[in-house]
Structure 1
Amino acid sequence: MPTFIMMLHEDPATFAAMSPDEMQATIGQYMAWGQKMEASGRLRGGQKLKDEGGRRLTARDGKLLVTDGPFAEAKDVIGGFFMIEAASYEEAEALIADCPHLRYGEIELRETDDCGA
């Protein structure tokens, strides 16, 4: 069955404005959704990404260039991801229609390619 990655786009200010109690309730919603997907046999993985922004790597003239980013003032970052199995985009869309992230941002859905493996 095909695997899809759900990249969770968000505005960092959305979660920064939450009280500790609101944040705990939100985390609980994500955990419950992940557990439901796992129980259905569809979840293949997922993680929240650290807020520190990571690194961007490029190569120019054979040299590796590393910069910090994205920055906290960015309006759109990927805050985490899930990987799920579904027969098609349509089935994947139906499976994630109740994902709590849709209340806080948008989800970019992409099918993975096994590259002939």
Structure 2
Amino acid sequence: MLPPELPPLPALTRAEGELIDRYLEAVDLLGRINPAGNTGTYGGLRAAQALVRTAVALRDALALMHRRGETELHNATLARALRVLDGERRTARVSVPPPPDRTH
């Protein structure tokens, strides 16, 4: 059985696509660094090193958009793209998990 087909990505400019890609890359790296969700320092260190490069690429994507006159972000469209690309699950890895249930 095939997995369900994902909804199509909304139409994005190349710069918006680059922004979304670099943002999600940074989120994934932050999830690997998150001390509330990981147990080892080496993986976090490697992710932190990669985050520096990703932050530069993210900055460059935003700077390019700004230079091209794309001064406003279309939040609804970009949020839809993030959802299609599993952004909700990916960003959840960055948050602090709730405390354990102590009712037992």
Work out whether the TM-score is over 0.5.
no
- Greater strand fraction, Structure 1 or Structure 2: 1
- Greater helix fraction, Structure 1 or Structure 2: 2
Higher relative CO (CA 8 A, sep ≥ 6), structure 1 or 2? 1
State the TM-score, normalized to the length of structure 1: 0.28
